[in-house]
Structure 1
């Protein structure tokens, strides 16, 4: 009887977590300044058009700087709201992603 209760509890926990984590996609609020281009309420992937890549995160979300041009490759830096990219991410970054 105990294994059945444990399995039921595990399934209930998994279902609760899946529902709680499955939030609808929405844009960040604010501006992302990517190599001088201002993007209002950005979401998804944005490729940098110039090098070095400059990123100023004026949104309420974290920005991931990727080594690849299509938000692929290594994540070089995570930029918190209100921060800018460091020299390493600016030099080697090619795209950014916001959830």
Structure 2
């Protein structure tokens, strides 16, 4: 196999791998995420907390990431695994990748 063909096939393999791995990020989590008294079915993205402290009940198949600022800014201060719940005194928003 010549070098140009090998390089082209390698580039194609990398492109396919990236495309398939990034496609998984676009899907919503399956299940229900409760933030305070707000229930979100099949959540995806960032959600601001309607109450303080932030109370999260994660009944999805993805890990929720807790942030200390609105719009998932600031610092990630904790996580809530699937099937778990947590209370965060300084939590202001939740991200579900």
Q: Fold-level match, TM-score > 0.5?
A: yes
Residue 53 (structure 1) shift: 0.5
Task: Report the Cα distance in structure 2 between the residues aligned to 1:12 and 1:93, rounded to whole angstroms.
Answer: 43
Q: Structure 1 length as normaliser, TM-score? A: 0.78
Q: Name the counterpart of 2:57.
A: 56
Q: Which runs of 4+ in 1 moved over 6 A?
A: 3-6
Unaligned runs of 5+ in 1: none
Task: Report the Cα distance in structure 2 between the residues aligned to 1:74 and 1:13, rounded to whole angstroms.
Answer: 35
Unaligned runs of 5+ in 2: none
Task: Report the Cα distance in structure 1 between the residues aligned to 2:70 and 2:94, rounded to whole angstroms.
Answer: 9
Q: Name the counterpart of 1:20.
A: 20
Q: Higher strand fraction: Structure 1 or Structure 2?
A: 2
1:19-40, Cα deviation, whole Å (9 max, x unpaired): 2312151221111110122111
